[in-house]
Amino acid sequence: MNDYMNMKNYEPKPIDMSDMKLDEELVELREAIAEHAHDVWAVKRLEEGWTYGEKLDREKMHHPDLVPYKQLPESEKDMDREMAVNTIKLLMKLGYDLVRSNETELYRHLMKRMRETVTIYKCSKCGSVVLKHDVFCSSCGKQLNIDWENK
């Protein structure tokens, strides 16, 4: 009964990350983490016996998101991206320095794949890289107001 009461009264209290901004290099990291998180999730579902299905069906264990990351709808990618951004910002807020010491073969492979599947633009205010799904520039905070449908 006590455990149930604790769960019933659970109030999530995430750490405020509003003061944390991502450098341009970390935007690439965000995409790599988001894609990897999706792949980890998909492997777990497949191991549990789930298969692809056009609609979610828990009884038949069919899931529409059991596709490569690049084929996910933007709304699903955005959930993975949000998790990645918050993870990166938490590491920064905790005092960790995220510095890529060298370009590994994996890094080059991931960046090539990302550039093939994600359209990258520059912020008109500060020139930082913004990705197709971005609404605000992660560097300066400018609202982008880009008509992505016509890009």
Q: What is the pLDDT of residue 101?
A: 77
106 falls within a domain: no
Task: Say how many domains are in the chain.
Answer: 1
Inside any domain, residue 12: no
The alpha carbon of 30 is separated from its chain's Cα centroid by a whole number of angstroms, namely 6
Torsion of CA 123, 128, 129, 134, to 10 degrees: -50
CATH number, position 64? 1.10.490.160
**In whole angstroms, what is the distance from residue 93 CA to residue 88 CA?**
9
Q: Is residue 15 part of a domain?
A: no
102: in domain: no
Ordered per-residue pLDDT tens for the chain, 151 residues: 455 556 778 888 999 988 988 877 787 888 889 999 999 999 999 999 999 999 999 999 999 999 998 889 888 999 999 999 999 999 999 999 888 777 888 888 877 777 666 555 677 787 776 665 566 676 677 777 665 444 4
Which residues form the domain of 136?
Answer: 21-95+112-150
Would 69 be classed as within a structural domain? yes
pLDDT for 151 equals 46
Quick check: is 5 in a domain? no
Instruction: Note whether residue 133 is domain-resident.
Output: yes
Backbone angles phi, psi at 143, to 5 degrees: -70, 130
Whether pTM exceeds 0.75: no
For residue 121, the model assigns a pLDDT of: 65
Residue 51 lies in a domain: yes
